[in-house]
Each structure stands twice: as structure tokens, then as C-alpha cells.
């Protein structure tokens, strides 16, 4: 048990599902201490032979060690997880019983409570190491798991006391403590209640004032700073660039987009537009219809669109750049347009890699396509990803 | 010159619009509240009302509802929340532009609204495409279905969203500017008259995102 706790407290310790035999625990530990996994495996098997301790430690480690890269999100528990847990428990039990009958055994008074503590402790630890704010429907499961864990640990204590026949003495102590607690509870109940209420009121007030402070801090860092900069700037272009950047930031902050739409195409394009706008001092407007998750291919699309925006900002003669992205039925079109003097796409020298490599080549490598049309009215780059 | 009333609860902004549009249109009055706006519009009978979406007392939507005279409205707002934009269009505004628009473009939009045409900013075009995204395309020659866009209307809207002007769209699609205007007006009418509650639900959902 102690050994297992020690290993889990190391934060970088992760199971390695890619080289696993059972759960990847040995491979994970081997990775961490930089030895061959076989060494760790042999050590575990030896520990398992010596009274079954190895099994307990392994099971606990399996539960407690988070999986490293390579395994698709193991938390949450699929439909089969209860069966798997039951199966593992029964398997461990049968092995323990086998060792017991073989005589490789400490004593009932130690091993059984230890097993219960291990199981209960594992449940509790797993609960506490999970994400802090679980979705609502997961909360009931969390409570019942925590309850089960507590019950198991208490049972372990009782079994140990029973086995060492000190339960009667313990019962007297518990009874005395219980009586004292009830008496004190009745006496102090009103104070305790009031204390709890005032604490929760205080907490609510603290949260409110924290929110106010956060908003004040945000406005100070962003809007007030920008206003100060605007007052000192002489160049109207610079003023409008500052104002637009601030507007973008404030809108994103007000709509709470920053933490919600992360990893979506539309917000990635808007971020790219904001960067280009800032770097080149040219207005870049993004209109998006429909949206999709970001993956390797749509990342490439954003990168190509960004390159097109940079080109439009550089060679568009200072005209505003329009970006339009449309996602429908799994297909995404992105148009990047400027109103500059235009150029001849065929006349671009071979060594200019911007369009050929970063836009057309990149899209083709990801099964998309790109086309550039240019006239004296401006240039439009069209990107398509199926 | 086109007679315009400016309605906005920010005095600084009204003054800004006044000085920017100097010489381009004639601003006959301005108003800071819904009541003031309704009174002045009914007295002055302007060609076009530049209307702020957000105002105390019901905002632009309320002004449009309570005005009796036959005037045209152009919504002008810093808000780009779909819900606000769609609400003011459905109340009867002929178009929507953001406050960052340049003076020339704004004057141009005012003239367009005066003629009874629709004014789509790229963002509004995007909103409309989004709102009608679920619907199957309408038959180009069949009954004009208010809940659907014809392929041509979609095409026009997509070009608007890509930042093209009416005359550029006309050249690209090989139709006349008048036809492009007709398509835009038809889309605006559909947006106003469509019974699809999806439009308001869609807008509400967008706001939540």
C-alpha cells in the first residue's frame, strides 16, 4: 500500500498503454525510472508471489496512475467498466485464496483488511484525482463511489479490530464518543447552523466581489490601456488598429467565446485575422457560416487562410480584407479577398513560395484545393476542404 | 438631398454621424430616446431613419413599431449579436450596418435604403445564410417559398458575405445590378415575412454560444 501511494504521488508517473501487457503500469514505471519494463515486471511478479502484495499494489497503481498518451480518454467509465472492475476484483480474490491455501500468507488479520483498504482507498483517491467539476449526471456516480470507498475502508477497520478481538473495547469507546457528539450537537446546533449560513453568505459575497475585481482588472488591462494608447497615438491608422483590436478582444470577452469556442474553425480564423490585422495594420473582417471542429486538415486550412490574409494585407494596397468561411454538409469553403491592384498569378516568380507552397501546396497535401483569381478589382483566394 | 433622422442614445455618436455625413445627406433631426424619436419622425417625415439597435425603452425595434409615417429604417449598431440584428430586420428595417462603416459607405447605404433597396453588411449576409442553412433550396421558378432561398439568392448572399458590392456581383454573375438588388430585396422580405420560428430560435441559440 505504502509503496503504491509513494509511486502515485509522483505527478509525472503515467501508465503507458502503448507498451502494455495488462494496464501498462510496469511500462509506465519503467519509462519513468528509465529501465527495461521487464525488470519492473519481474519485481511485480516476485512481490505477487510474496503474499499477494504485488497484485494489490498493481491494481491500485492501475487505478491511480493516469494513462499516458495513446489511450483514448479512459475516464468516465464506459458501459463495460463495472463488469471489468468486478472481473478484476474476483480474479484478485481467487488468486489471494489460492495463495492462502498454498500457505504463502501473512495472516487473515492483516491481508483481508489490507485488501479492503486498498480497494476503498483506490476508489476515494480516484474520485479525488478526477476533474474537479464533473458534469451533473456524473455527480451521482461520484457520490455513490465515494460512499462505497468510505464503507470499504470502515469495514477494513472493523475487520481488523474483530480479527484482533479488540472490537468490544472499541465499541465502548465509540459509544462514549457518540453520546458526547450528540449532546454537544444538540447544545451547539443553533450556533453551528448560524455559522454555516453566514459562511455561505460570506462565500457568495466573496465570489461577487471577486467577479467585480476580475472585471475591473480586465477593463483596466484592456480598455483603459487602449484608451491611453489612443490618446497618445498620432497616426489615424494606428488609432483605428488599436480600437479594432480592443473591440475584438472585448467582444470575445463579453460573449465568453474565449473558453467556449476553442478548437473550432470560426474562432481559429478570427484569431488568425486578429493577428494579421495587428501585424499589418489592415482591417480584416471575418464572417463565418457554420462551423467545424479543428483537426489536422482544418488546421491546415486555417494556416493557408492565414497566409492568404497576410498576402492580402501586404499586397492589397491597404484595402480592407474580407474573409468568408462557409461550412455545410462537411464541406468548407474559405474566401479571402482584398481590393488591391491585383497581380498575375502565372507571373509570380518560381522562388516566391507564399502562394505555391503555403496555400496551394498545403491545401493539396490535405486533399483540398486552392485557387487564386486576380483582376484590377482585387484578388480572391478560394480554399476548399471536403 | 436625402432627409435623415439619426436616432441614438449616445450624444457623441450622433454628433459624429452628423459631422461625417455633412454634405452627403441632410440630417433634419436627431433623437436620444424612443419617445423623442417617434415624435420627431412623425413630424419631420424623413426619407431614412438611422436607427440604433440598443436604446433604453425597447430600442430600435420599438421605434419602428410605433412610428406611423411611411419612412424607411437603416439599423446602425455596434452589436453584432445575431439576435439583435435579426430582430430589428424582422421589425421592418431595410438593412443593417455596423458603426465602424466609413462615411461614404454609410451615405451610399442611406441612398440605397431610400430607393427601397436592401442593405446587407457582410455580417448580416452571413447571419441570413446561417438562418436559412437548414432549409432545402427553393425552386427558382416555382412558388416563392418564404422559408427557403433560391440558389440564385444564396449565390448573391454568399458574394455579399465575401465583401462584394452589388455592381461587382452583377458582373460576376452576369446579371444586371437591378437584378442583384431585386434578389437582395427578396431575401430581406423572406427574412421579414418567413414564418420559420427557426430564425428566432437560431438567433437565440447563437446568442447562447
Of B81, B100, B122, the CB nearest to A324: B122
Domains, chain A, with CATH or none: 12-173 (no CATH), 263-385 (3.30.565.10)
Radius of gyration of the CA atoms of chain B, in A: 17
Q: Which of B33, B27, B28 is nearest to B56 (CA)?
A: B33
As annotated, the residues of chain B forming the CATH 3.40.50.2300 domain(s) are 3-131
DSSP A205-257: HHHHHHHHHHHHHHHIIIIIHHHHHHHH---HHHHHHHHHHHHHHHHHHHTTH
- Judge contact between A286 and A353, C-beta under 8 A: no
Q: Which residues in chain A are closer than 8 Å to B130, comparing Cβ atoms? A: 289-290
- Judge contact between A95 and A54, C-beta under 8 A: no
Q: Is the Cβ of A322 closer than 8 Å to some Cβ of chain B?
A: yes
Task: Check residue A119 and report its DSSP letter.
Answer: H
Strand order from edge to edge, sheet including A284-289: A284-289, A321-328, A331-338, A378-385, A368-375
Residues B45-69: tens digit of each pLDDT: 999 999 988 888 888 888 998 988 8
Residue B34 CA neighbour count, 13 Å, CB half: 14
> What's the whole-number average pLDDT of chain B?
84
Of A244, A257, A324, the CB nearest to B161: A324
- Residues forming a β-bridge with A384: A333, A369
As annotated, the residues of chain B forming the CATH 1.10.10.10 domain(s) are 144-205
A256 vs B77, residue with greater confidence:
B77
> What's the whole-number average pLDDT of chain A?
78
Looking at domain B144-205, which CATH architecture does it have?
Orthogonal Bundle (1.10)
Lowest mean pLDDT among A38-47, A372-381, B67-76: A38-47
Q: Which residues in chain A are closer than 8 Å to B133, comparing Cβ atoms? A: 289-290, 328
Tell me: pLDDT of A157 over 50. yes
Radius of gyration of the CA atoms of chain A, in A: 32
ipTM above 0.90, yes or no: no
Chains A, B: CB contacts under 8 A, how many? 44
**Which residues on chain B place their C-beta less than 8 Å from a C-beta of chain A?**
80-81, 100, 122-123, 125-126, 129-130, 133, 158, 161-164, 168, 209
Q: Is the Cβ of A287 closer than 8 Å to some Cβ of chain B?
A: yes
Tell me which chain B residue has its CA closest to the CA of residue A255: B209
pLDDT at B204: 64
- Judge contact between B69 and B41, C-beta under 8 A: yes
Tell me which chain A residue has its CA closest to the CA of residue B128: A289
Tell me: pLDDT of A322 over 60. yes
Q: Does domain B3-131 have CATH number 3.40.50.720?
A: no
Q: State the Cα–Cα distance between residues A296 and A115, nearest whole angstrom.
A: 46
Residues A327-336: tens digit of each pLDDT: 988 899 999 9
Amino acid at each position: 500500500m505504502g509503496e503504491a501511494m509513494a509511486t502515485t504521488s509522483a505527478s509525472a508517473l503515467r501508465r503507458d498503454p502503448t507498451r502494455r501487457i495488462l494496464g501498462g503500469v510496469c511500462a509506465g514505471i519503467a519509462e519513468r525510472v528509465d529501465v527495461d519494463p521487464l525488470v519492473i515486471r519481474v519485481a511485480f511478479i516476485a512481490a505477487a508471489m510474496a503474499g499477494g502484495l504485488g497484485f494489490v499494489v498493481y491494481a491500485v497503481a492501475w487505478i491511480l496512475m493516469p494513462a499516458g498518451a495513446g489511450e483514448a480518454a479512459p475516464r468516465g467509465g464506459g458501459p463495460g467498466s463495472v463488469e471489468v472492475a468486478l472481473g478484476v476484483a474476483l480474479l484478485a480474490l481467487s488468486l489471494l485464496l489460492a495463495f492462502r491455501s498454498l500457505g504463502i500468507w501473512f495472516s487473515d488479520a492483516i491481508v483481508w483488511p489490507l485488501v479492503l483498504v486498498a480497494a476503498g482507498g483506490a476508489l476515494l483517491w480516484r474520485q479525488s484525482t478526477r476533474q474537479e467539476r464533473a458534469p451533473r449526471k456524473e455527480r451521482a456516480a461520484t457520490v455513490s463511489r465515494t460512499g462505497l470507498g468510505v464503507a470499504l475502508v470502515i469495514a477494513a477497520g472493523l475487520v481488523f479490530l474483530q480479527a484482533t478481538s479488540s472490537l468490544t473495547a472499541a465499541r465502548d469507546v465509540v459509544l462514549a464518543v457518540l453520546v458526547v457528539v450528540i449532546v454537544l450537537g444538540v447544545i451547539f446546533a443553533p450556533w453551528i447552523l448560524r455559522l454555516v449560513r453566514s459562511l455561505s453568505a460570506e462565500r457568495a459575497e466573496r465570489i461577487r466581489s471577486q467577479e467585480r475585481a476580475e472585471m475591473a482588472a480586465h477593463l483596466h488591462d484592456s480598455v483603459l490601456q487602449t484608451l491611453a494608447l489612443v490618446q497618445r497615438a498620432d497616426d489615424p491608422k494606428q488609432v483605428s488598429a488599436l480600437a479594432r483590436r480592443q473591440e475584438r478582444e472585448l467582444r470575445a470577452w463579453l460573449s465568453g467565446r474565449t473558453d467556449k469556442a476553442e478548437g473550432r474553425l470560426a474562432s481559429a480564423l478570427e484569431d488568425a485575422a486578429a493577428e494579421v490585422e495587428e501585424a499589418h495594420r489592415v482591417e480584416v473582417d471575418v464572417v463565418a457560416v457554420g462551423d467545424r471542429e479543428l483537426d489536422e486538415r482544418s488546421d491546415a486550412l486555417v494556416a493557408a487562410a492565414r497566409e492568404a490574409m497576410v498576402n492580402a494585407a501586404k499586397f492589397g494596397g491597404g484595402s480592407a480584407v474580407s474573409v468568408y468561411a462557409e461550412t455545410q454538409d462537411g464541406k468548407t469553403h474559405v474566401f479571402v479577398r482584398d481590393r488591391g491592384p491585383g497581380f498575375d498569378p502565372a507571373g509570380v516568380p518560381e522562388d516566391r513560395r507564399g502562394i505555391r507552397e503555403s496555400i496551394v501546396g498545403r491545401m493539396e497535401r490535405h486533399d483540398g484545393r486552392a485557387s487564386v483569381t486576380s483582376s484590377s478589382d482585387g484578388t480572391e483566394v478560394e480554399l476548399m476542404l471536403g | 438631398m436625402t432627409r435623415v433622422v439619426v436616432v441614438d442614445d449616445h450624444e457623441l455618436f450622433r454628433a459624429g454621424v452628423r459631422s461625417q455625413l455633412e454634405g452627403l445627406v441632410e440630417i433634419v433631426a436627431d433623437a436620444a430616446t424612443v419617445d423623442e424619436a417617434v415624435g420627431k419622425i412623425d413630424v419631420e417625415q424623413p426619407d431614412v431613419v438611422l436607427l440604433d439597435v440598443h436604446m433604453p425603452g425597447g430600442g430600435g425595434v420599438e421605434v419602428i413599431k410605433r412610428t406611423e409615417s411611411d419612412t424607411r429604417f437603416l439599423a446602425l449598431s455596434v452589436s453584432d449579436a445575431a439576435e439583435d440584428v435579426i430582430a430589428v430586420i424582422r421589425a421592418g428595417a431595410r438593412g443593417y450596418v455596423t458603426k465602424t462603416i466609413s462615411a461614404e459607405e454609410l451615405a451610399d447605404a442611406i441612398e440605397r435604403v431610400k430607393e427601397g433597396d436592401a442593405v446587407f453588411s457582410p455580417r448580416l449576409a452571413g447571419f441570413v445564410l446561417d438562418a436559412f442553412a437548414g432549409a432545402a433550396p427553393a425552386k427558382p421558378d416555382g412558388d416563392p417559398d418564404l422559408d427557403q432561398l433560391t440558389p440564385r439568392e444564396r449565390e448573391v448572399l454568399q458574394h455579399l458575405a465575401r465583401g462584394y458590392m452589388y455592381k461587382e456581383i452583377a458582373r460576376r454573375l452576369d446579371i444586371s445590378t437591378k437584378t442583384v438588388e431585386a434578389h437582395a430585396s427578396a431575401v430581406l422580405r423572406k427574412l421579414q415575412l418567413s414564418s420559420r420560428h427557426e430564425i428566432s430560435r437560431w438567433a437565440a441559440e447563437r446568442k447562447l454560444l
